[in-house]
Amino acid sequence: MTRRKFTSAFKTKVVLAVLKERESLSELAQKYEVHPQQIRTWKREFLKGAENVFSHGEKKSARTEAEEKEEKLLKIIGRQKVELDFLKKALS
């Protein structure tokens, strides 16, 4: 028996039908010829990744801001290290 492969469009269609709650899970499983546990898994994955749908662009800018802040702090640390090394040599 070969494994069936489902497209993301099909999975989304099934999950959205589950979220509408117009039919029971067992009815949907029978309608789409998929095991109810598989539908639960798809629903869990869908809901887990749902927040990323609207924050996709924000994450990039947030990452960029974090990277800029990290770079700035590393520059400050580098300058302070140079100053400390200079002062240590001056005291020796």
Q: What is the pLDDT of residues 19-28, one digit of tens each?
A: 999 999 999 9
pTM over 0.95: no
Mean pLDDT to the nearest integer, 76-84 = 94
Q: Please name which of 20, 3, 8 lies closest in space to residue 28, comparing C-alpha atoms.
A: 20
Band of the pLDDT at 54, cuts 50, 70, 90?
confident
Judge whether 58 and 47 are in contact, CB under 8 Å: no
pLDDT of residue 67: 86
Residue 60 has pLDDT above 60, yes or no: no
Measured from the Cβ of residue 39, the count of other Cβ atoms closer than 10 Å reads 20
Domain ranges of the chain: 8-91
CA dihedral 30, 14, 39, 34 (to 10 degrees): 40
pLDDT exceeds cutoff 60 at 49 = yes
